[in-house]
A and B are shown apart, each in its own frame.
Chain A
Amino acid sequence: MDYLPLLRKDKFPHIWCEGCGDGIALKAILRAIQNIGINQNDIAMVSGIGCSSRTPGYVDFNTLHTTHGRAIAYATGLKLARPELTVIVVTGDGDATAIGGNHLIHAARRNINMTVLVYNNHIYGMTGGQVSPTTPMGDYATTAPYGGMENTFDIAGLTIAAGASFVARSTVYHAKTLERMIEKAIRKNGFSLVEIMSPCPTAYGKINKKGLPKDLILNQKSQAINVDKAREMSPEDLRGRIITGILADRELPEYISTYDKIMSSAQRR
């Protein structure tokens, strides 16, 4: 299928650097939407601040570029006021888990029907490469000149623990798998999150001497390990690996469905 009609082509060229994974992720999102066959008028794409959060500018949906960290909060109001819209949040590791971490865990806890796509590039790219909650310990950043000294967030694990219906992780190297995961996430009635490993050759790759942009993407192939295989491996063997696959897919009460039931009974009283 031709996904170009879903793009605002006059807004290109995009702002992403050569070798950035965000363009591959965008294509996977558009194909997932086409696979489901959702009308463009019925999609609201909401983002915060950062490289990934510029995505809504390039897609021909109802698009909302909010403040730093708050995309999920805005999306919650939007979805509640107009539940028939398919709400997709595009965000990054800093936007979603540092400044916006509270909104992420509470939206997951409510299990409100929306899809959050977190592009994890281990760094604050747009502001020039500062350390993020997912920068691996010991890796360098402009604000970690001696190497990162903090433990990192497992974004997918955090979201599962908080109560989301559907959580998956993939990489931009595995573009086709990523597309299928995003499709499943959007179809799920509940809070769904896909953690998309999207390398940043400019801000993260260069300072950490990770090689050429293509090397960062090819590394994902060797780093990725399917969750079923990972279960049989020791923590030592999993060090430096990316556990991919569907990590949670479960039936839990969805917030708006529950609200609507309570609203009906309140109106009958």
Chain B
Amino acid sequence: MNPRTYMMQGNIAVAEGAIDAGCRFYAGYPITPSSEIAEQLSRRLPEIGGRFIQMEDEIAAMGAIIGASLAGAKAMTATSGPGFSLKQENIGYASIAEIPVVIVNVMRGGPSTGLPTLPAQGDVMQARWGTHGDHPIITLTPASVRESYDMTIQAFNMAEKYRVPVIVLLDEIIGHVHEKVTLPDVGQLKIINRKKPDTPPEEYLPYIIDESLIPPMANFGDGYRYHVTGLVHDETGFPTNDTLKIEAMLTRLNSKLDKYLDEIIQYEENIIPAAKVGIVTYGSSARSSRHALRMAKEKNIDVSLFRIQTMWPFPTKALRDFGKNLSYIIVPELNLGQIAHEVEHAVGHSVEVLRVNKITGEPIHPEEILNKIEECL
């Protein structure tokens, strides 16, 4: 058997993916259902020369990973809903100061303390708009243990390449489900590291506006002495009140991901040409959806499937195409329709968007999706 074959849960796959991506700094705070990530890394990171620290609170953990990243380390934290709320101000800081960091949110029922050990998908909008102000952010939503590993690596690659906070959004089912996985050889992985400046320190503009829209990043201690602030700043990194400079900086910040949408946005499609019904889903609800699809097939009902992998930026264009030949789209999700709104916006009025929602801490049963499919016929 391949020595990299394991039976593991999604949370452990996240921890191992982080290590294989080059993560050498983790700061966190205990919270169910994400704590296995911290536990695994508290054991693994010291073995490989990395740093693990359990901070005094969620806010501190978010601050610490930003500080560590600025010093050159690939850095991650993991949490669940209540902690994710607490981290939001500093996620905004990472966004405006363009510090690469990875935040894992293993979603549980909310709001507030909610349903600590039960699954939910109620944080998908918070992942996009949790911090104040317009800002860029990437969010990935795995649906299996192996994908939790892969997407954690992708999250680091994207954070490093685009200088943006990347959120890996699991739900409790994906975090805790055990599956057999064979992990790839570390040497075979595509690993991206942040672009460093090739200018001498005296010419370095830490927030330069060039064609790439992604400024090269010097690490603290590398001889490039510069200023980092959460205030709106100009190309030098210092705060500015000059409206032209503010506009230039915020325009670059908020459009930098648009330039790379083709490589950021990932999704899985299974289009049946004859189908009039499609399902758009993500995370553990995608697993219920696949089961429902098999049940539909046994009844000779054609159903197309679109599984969201990159949640943010939202795959609006791909979904518009997906909806073209459909009359109905069903969106099963463990919330009251947060992504269904986005799907409606993407496909327009020609397709009726139907919801299958659950917020009681139970997964969606395939029969519930099948019933909705049959209502469409």
Chain A residues with a Cβ under 8 A of chain B: 11, 40-42, 44, 46, 56-57, 60-67, 70, 73-82, 84-85, 102-103, 105-106, 259, 262-263, 266-267, 269
29 A-B residue pairings within 8 Å (CB atoms): A41-B223, A42-B221, A44-B220, A44-B221, A56-B227, A61-B225, A62-B221, A63-B225, A63-B227, A65-B231, A67-B230, A70-B63, A74-B63, A76-B55, A76-B64, A77-B64, A78-B68, A80-B51, A81-B67, A81-B69, A82-B71, A82-B72, A102-B57, A103-B56, A103-B63, A105-B56, A106-B55, A267-B46, A267-B48
CB distance from B236 to the nearest CB of A (A): 10
Which residues does chain A contribute within 8 Å of B47, judged by CB atoms?
266-267, 269
Q: Does more than half of chain A's interface fall in helix, strand or loop, or is it mixed? A: helix
- In whole angstroms, what is the CA distance A207 to B32 when docked? 49
Which residues of the other chain, A, contact B229 by a CB distance below 8 angstroms? 57, 64-65
Task: Report yes or no: A84 in contact with B221, Cβ–Cβ below 8 A.
Answer: yes
Which residues of chain B are within 8 angstroms of A259 by Cβ–Cβ distance? 46, 51
Give the contacts of B172-188 with A (CB-CB under 8 A). none
Which residues of the other chain, B, contact A41 by a CB distance below 8 angstroms? 221-223, 225
The minimal Cβ–Cβ distance linking B299 to chain A, given in whole angstroms, is: 55
* Closest beta carbon of chain A to B99's beta carbon, Å: 10
Q: Is B168 an interface residue (CB 8 A)?
A: no
Question: Within 8 Å of chain A (Cβ to Cβ): is B49?
Answer: yes
| B185: min CB distance to chain A, Å | 22
* Across-interface contacts of A73 in B (CB, < 8 A): 55, 59-64, 67
User: Which residues of the other chain, A, contact B61 by a CB distance below 8 angstroms?
Assistant: 73
Q: Contact at A77–B221, with CB atoms within 8 Å?
A: no
Whole-angstrom distance between the Cβ of A68 and the nearest chain B Cβ: 8
Show the binding face of B for A, using Cβ within 8 Å: 24-25, 27, 46-49, 51, 53, 55-57, 59-73, 75, 89-90, 93, 219-223, 225-231, 238-239
Q: How far is the CB of A72 from chain B (nearest CB, A)?
A: 8
What is the bound-complex CA distance between A102 and B56, given in angstroms?
7
Complex CA distance for A134 and B142, rounded to whole angstroms: 48
B59: chain A residues within 8 A (beta carbon): 70, 73
Interchain nearest-CB distance for B263 vs A (Å): 28
A262 vs B61: C-alpha distance when bound (angstroms): 21
CB-CB nearest 9 A-B residue pairs: A77-B67, A73-B63, A77-B64, A77-B68, A78-B67, A81-B71, A74-B67, A106-B56, A82-B71
How would you classify the secondary structure of chain B's contact residues: helix, strand, loop or mixed?
A: mixed
Cβ of B73 and Cβ of A81 under 8 Å apart? yes
The interface residues of chain B lying within 8 Å CB-to-CB of A11 are: 238
Closest chain-B Cβ to A180's Cβ sits at a distance in Å of 26
A70 in contact with B90 (CB, 8 Å)? yes
Q: In the complex, which residues of chain A have a beta carbon less than 8 angstroms from the beta carbon of B64?
A: 73-74, 76-77, 80
Question: A46: which of B67, B72, B73 is its contact (CB, 8 Å)?
Answer: B67
Assembly CA distance A85 to B221 (angstroms): 7
Once A262-B46, A267-B46 are accepted as A-B contacts, the answer to whether A77 and B25 lie under 8 Å apart by CB is: yes
Residues of A within 8 A of B226 (CB): 62-63
In the bound assembly, the distance between CA atoms of A78 and B70 in angstroms comes to 7
A269 to B47 alpha-carbon distance, docked (Å): 8
The residue on B at minimum CB distance from A265 is B46
Contact A65 B60 (CB under 8 A): no
Q: How far is the CA of A91 from the CA of B63 in the complex (A)?
A: 15
Tell me if A102 and B63 are in contact (CB < 8 A): no
- Kindly identify which residue among B49, B63, B221 contacts A267, using a CB–CB cutoff of 8 Å: B49
**Contact present for A266 and B220 (CB under 8 Å):** no
Roughly how many angstroms separate A42 CA and B46 CA in the complex, as a whole number? 25
Whole-angstrom CA separation of A98 from B221 in the bound complex: 30
With both beta carbons as reference points, the residue of chain B lying nearest to A46 in the complex is identified as B67
Quick one: closest B residue to A264, CB to CB? Answer: B46
B201, chain A: closest CB distance, angstroms: 9
When chains A and B are docked, how far (Å) is the Cα of A103 from the Cα of B64? 11
Q: Nearest A residue to B222 by beta-carbon distance?
A: A41
**Bound complex: CA of A247 vs CA of B110, how far in Å?**
47
Q: What's the least CB distance linking B113 to chain A, in Å? A: 20
